[in-house]
A and B are shown apart, each in its own frame.
Chain A
Amino acid sequence: MADDQYIVEMNHITKRFPGIVANDDVTVKIRKGEIYALLGENGAGKSTLMSMLFGMYEPDEGQIIVRGKEEKITSPSYAAGLNIGMVHQHFKLVSNYTIAENIILGNEPVRKAFGLFPYVDIKSANDNIRKLSEQYGLEVNPTDVIEDVNVSTRQRVEILKMLYRQAEILIFDEPTAVLTPQEIDSLLKIIKNLRDGGKTIILITHKLEEIKRVADRCAILRRGKLIGVYDVPSMDTKEMANLMVGREVELTLQRKPAHFGDVVLDVENLHVENADHFEVVKGVSFQIHAGEIFAIAGVSGNGQTEIADAIAGLLRTTQGSIRILGREISSFTIRERTKTGISYIPEDRQSVGLILDFNLAEDLALRNYYESPFAKKSVLQKKTFEDYGNRLIGKYDIRSASGNDTIVRSMSGGNQQKAIVGREIEQDAPLTIFVQPTRGLDIGAIENIHRQILEERDKGKAVLLISLELDEVMQLADTIGVIYNGELRKTAPAADFTTSEVGEYMMGVKRS
């Protein structure tokens, strides 16, 4: 018999996918009107569990009880009928529709002109949505087109979409991943408002701070198993992190004081166009010294990855100069630049940084395969590949099913990234570029990569770090340049910035 105080009960849920058990006998019970957080590393099974509540998968075993009644949730529309709504990590919006059109899509208010010809009553929809957005403090202009509005507005549209469909149980999947600190603040406020308005909130996240700030209770999952359900006010973030990872973790990094050397990278008035001949980098200048971590902070799509691609030679520069140790490299080929002294850990590790169908030894040699001792007179030396592979596997703790012979596609994201980082660091280049080095990785792997970035710096390398994670930038950088709309709005030593200041520059509201 179901307990009345719970609005959702998921009892003994097991879900298997080929090769893995995504959820193993997980039981969560959610009270009406609470903020319930699901905490766990990547692959812990949080999203899978909620996908079952939202009707995207069905559990192999176990039962789901909603409002005291056992339900078989076979589709998202069935879930919507139970007033369950989900804001996905990747927004599902039609970019050339207006906000109102997106919200009513699939649920349009239809009226009949002259009692005969049906049409969508967009006018009343606009009014309704305006009212709804005022009621919950979710400011949007219903007639704006999605492609013209920023990420946090799009997220508010997703939330409104659920509210418009009278959702009572709201699932948020990693909602803060793409937001600036100010946007995160306002989102967390919105979530609290929704709870105070009587909604039940389920928050999927791996960010401990956010849970601490808003959640009432939290369930911790590890490798598909439920570790426990805890009252958030009675725990600190350190305890939560340890439970989540299953061992002691260092939340703060040990950093030595910086010793800057000579200028390694000197970028002057750099202009870059993207593939559509649209100028995305507009006159950027900065310098990086030996022993310095220079971080470019910014909201996604403001030209930061293009700066990295232009330095590495993947994108052509239209104007400006790039010098490595005083040598102008802007007319060099990609390989010449690498040889001059650039290591590059690209943003997209799977489609740029690795050849997924190569085996590990081959991918680890991707920078060196053509030169001695990897190749002699154009003949590959298998023994060198193997020895080199084994050395890097050991040194960088790259884990895989069968070592050198493992097809890289079958490895986990964290180990793929370790392979790239290991390969690039081994080049011993004076400049190392890291773009989004920890995206999608779990705490253990993030720790490892951060340690290596700091080691590079302490070895006297120049490091260019481009990251959308502001925490990462604040933790690692010696110098921060904030990019907005293709321009560096502010460049200064990291110590001169507070997190919220960086956030303001990132959003373009503040300029120096």
Chain B
Amino acid sequence: MSYRKKYLKIAVLSVLVSLLAGAVVILILGKNPLSAYYNLLQGCGLAPKAKYAGGKSMFTDLSSYIDYLTPMLFAALSYAVAMRAGLFNIGISGQMLVAGFISSVTIGYSTLSAPVAKPLVLLIGIVSGMAVGALIGFFKYRFNINEVVSSIMLNYIAEYVISFFIHVKYVDPVSRQSRNISDAARLTLHQIVIGGYKYDIPIGFILAVLAVFVLKFVFDRTVLGYELRAVGLNPTAARYAGIHVGRNLVLSMTISGALAGLAGVTYYLGYFASIQPRVLVSTGYDAIAVGLLGNNDPVGILAASFLIEIIGKGSTYMSSQAGLQSEIASVITGLILLASACNAFFMNRLDRRQAAKEELHRKKEEGGIQKGERV
């Protein structure tokens, strides 16, 4: 069995086990797990609801789900790029916030027209995320500061500094959040009416899918991908081979930061149009689950984020329909993370079983196996 096949088997298994465990929890709460899971699909526009409000259809829900999914896809890709080089970027949420804030105050509150504003938002998002990522990579390379420590610290700095500025300068007195950005700068075309139905069309999604395939190519087919993987798997051997380890560390954090920046602008200037002060979104952390489940492979991540976000997005509808707490969704997501984090263990079990099978097979062929013999 190839590595990829084996991994897929484990991923599917861990999702099934998690859903099963979630079902038990729902049963204990006295609800029907099957209808609760069906509610999740309905909430994402993947199954028809019984009835829709005026101007809404299944595809309205689907477009909104895709819109919700986009930042997660970028964030999980960001996690994967760092992981390739063996770095654990736990600061994705902070990098998202920095990118979202800088783009909001520079472009979001400007009067630029849409064709100018939207590309600029993307560009500024990329650059500001990149800057934070590069800083973390540089700390690691120059001063050997663990990236986990520096990115967590930067998360706090971003959270409090930005909330200070929002409070003193950009606050909306009613919502207590930052003021809404202009529609021209927003990356989601909000409440667009086509054929009598309303849709939220996320421009960033196209870019995210593009990023999936670009990264897939970079990882598997380029010199950079080879070097990143070498550095991630064995920095000593990479150095022996003449690879500049430090440069690759900084580079991977820079790309990771850029993708986190894109996650930030598609979140704060796309799905939402404002920033809630003193809150770090959970997307950056959930991205780790998605990355793990997707085996840090861009295409795997695309599939994993679709799956995980069904649970996240559908939970609101589920809780209204089935009368379940929407936190149940977080429980299931957590279980999936736990199960896929154990993949090394399962992988080992599979290997051992396979080895035992081969041994048995070999013995049989040699004709030496006796009835009742322990193998």
Contact = CB atoms under 8 A, between A and B. Distances in A.
B355 A314 contact: no
Given A60-B374, A338-B242, A353-B240, A358 B233 contact: yes
A16 B352 CA distance: 12
B238 interface: yes
Interface string A16-48: 101111000000000000000000000000000
B327 interface: no
B325 interface: no
A369 B226 contact: yes
B237 interface: yes
**Which of under 10, 10 to 19, 20 to 34, or 35 or more describes the interface residues of B?**
20 to 34
Which of A344, A355, A370 has the largest count of B CB atoms less than 10 A from its CB?
A: A355
B77 to A, nearest CB: 20
Contacts, number: 73
Contact of A351 (B225, B236, B242, B355): B236
A380 B229 CA distance: 14
A433 to B, nearest CB: 12
Contacts of B359: 16, 19-21
B221 interface: yes
Interface string A395-407: 0000000000001
A314 B240 contact: yes
A353 B224 contact: no
Nearest to A24: B368
B230 A375 contact: no
A414 interface: no
Contacts of B229: 358
A366 B242 CA distance: 9
A511 interface: no
* Binding site secondary structure of chain B: helix
A351 B352 contact: no
Contacts of B342: none
A20 B222 CA distance: 38
B241 interface: yes
Interface in A334-380: 334-335, 338, 344, 346, 351-358, 362, 366-367, 369-370, 375, 378-380
A354 B230 CA distance: 10
B9 interface: no
A27 B350 CA distance: 33
A353 B358 CA distance: 30
Contact of A378 (B224, B234, B244): B224
A407 B225 CA distance: 18
A369 B242 contact: no
Given A18-B355, A19-B359, A380-B226, A366 B241 contact: yes
Contacts of A362: 226
A337 to B, nearest CB: 8
B153 interface: no
A382 B223 CA distance: 12
B3 interface: yes
Interface in A118-155: none
Contacts of B8: none
B348 to A, nearest CB: 9
B3 to A, nearest CB: 7
A407 B2 CA distance: 11
A378 B239 contact: no
Interface in B207-245: 221-227, 229-230, 233-234, 236-242, 244
Interface string A379-390: 110100000000
Contacts of B374: 60
A333 interface: yes
Given A358-B230, A369-B226, A380-B226, A407 B3 contact: yes
B344 interface: no
Contacts of B358: 19
B223 A380 contact: yes
Contacts of A407: 3
A52 B224 CA distance: 49
B193 interface: no
A353 B226 contact: no
Contacts of A21: 359
B57 to A, nearest CB: 44
B274 to A, nearest CB: 41
B192 interface: no
Nearest to A312: B240
A370 B236 contact: no
B221 A352 contact: no
Interface string B1-21: 001000000000000000000
Given A355-B237, A362-B226, A375-B222, 12 more contacts: A18-B355, A19-B355, A21-B359, A312-B240, A314-B240, A334-B239, A334-B240, A352-B236, A356-B234, A366-B237, A378-B223, A379-B223
8 contacts: A16-B359, A19-B355, A334-B242, A355-B238, A358-B229, A362-B226, A366-B230, A379-B222
Interface of B: 3, 221-227, 229-230, 233-234, 236-242, 244, 351-352, 355-356, 358-359, 374
